[in-house]
Copies of this chain bind each other. A is one copy, B any other.
Amino acid sequence: MSMVVVGSVALDTVKTPFGEAADALGGSCSYSTVAARRFAEPVSMVAVVGEDFPADHVAFFDERGVDTSGLVRTPGRTFRWGGEYGFDLNTRETLFTELNVFAEFKPELSSGAQDCDYLFLANIDPTLQRAVLDQTRKPRMVVMDTMNFWIDGARDSLLETIARVDVLLLNDEETRMLTGEANLIRAARKVLELGPRVVIVKKGEHGALVFSREFTFSAPAYPVELIYDPTGAGDSFAGGFLGYLAQSEDCWDPGAIRRAVIYGTVMASFTVEAFSLDGLAQATRPQVEERFARIREMANF
């Protein structure tokens, strides 16, 4: 089954207590497609880069089997983001955001992408997310991500998009912000009333909570002992989640959704163990299964 991701490809400059990386490959579309490709095929990116985007990075995607035909190169510089993490890696300060060519991003799906079975709308302007939805024919499952910036600044547009997707990803802070409800369980139930069939609340080191009308699932985090760089964890989670479902027999089976959340958790755990996409790229399929089994053992009682 085919999967498409619409999002950003960026050059990230990241400082953490363990070191720093300048102009390293990043962006939601990069993390999520590489994570998804461990499970599904074909996986296609829809994104934009500038003239300065290194050919090596395109080769990196190609070598990992990600379809880059929808990665458009336009005049100008690539989207750049800079951030610094505090000592416990739970706080992040954005040092700079240079949108560059991303400012004019108007995602256009190829004929093949319009027919995709699985769609991940990574964190971009909710109006653009709807413009993408308008181009699709009949995807089996649409997953969307967002951020506090849109909850604060484009609430009505965001709610309109949320009403049209199947699965919404939020972190705990965003869940409370979107609903004005301090209790996370009640907040998540309120989000369900906005339209999505499934709401996934990502809690970082505390795992994730999954809510649907049919079931509630509490997923543990993988016990990562050395977090080098949390950047891309959420997108790796999304890619692993939807990539696993894209190759499963029935993407709406609650058991499959639960397992997909664990595979998403596993992919995120590899990402945070290194800078950029290094951790994700190095993880082998047996290592993925090993971590899945480890989480199962940890959650068993």
- Quick one: copies of this chain in the complex? 2
Partner-contacting stretch, out of A23-31, A57-65, A155-163, A222-230: A222-230
Q: Which residue of B lies closest to A257 (CB)?
A: B301
The size of the chain A interface, using a CB distance under 8 A, is: 38
Contact residue among B176, B183, B258 (Cβ-Cβ distance under 8 Å from A301): B258
Contact residue among B183, B206, B217 (Cβ-Cβ distance under 8 Å from A203): B206
Contact residue among B185, B220, B259 (Cβ-Cβ distance under 8 Å from A225): B185
Q: How far is the CA of A104 from the CA of B184 in the complex (A)?
A: 42
Contact residue among B183, B218, B223, B295 (Cβ-Cβ distance under 8 Å from A298): B218
Is A168 on the interface with B (CB-CB < 8 A)? Answer: no
Q: Which residue of B lies closest to A295 (CB)?
A: B218
Q: Which residue of B lies closest to A186 (CB)?
A: B225
Since A184-B205, A207-B218 are in contact, a sample of 18 more A-B pairs with Cβ atoms closer than 8 Å, ordered by chain A residue number, is: A88-B176, A88-B182, A183-B224, A183-B226, A183-B227, A185-B225, A186-B225, A186-B226, A206-B206, A207-B207, A218-B221, A218-B298, A258-B301, A261-B301, A262-B301, A296-B301, A299-B299, A299-B301
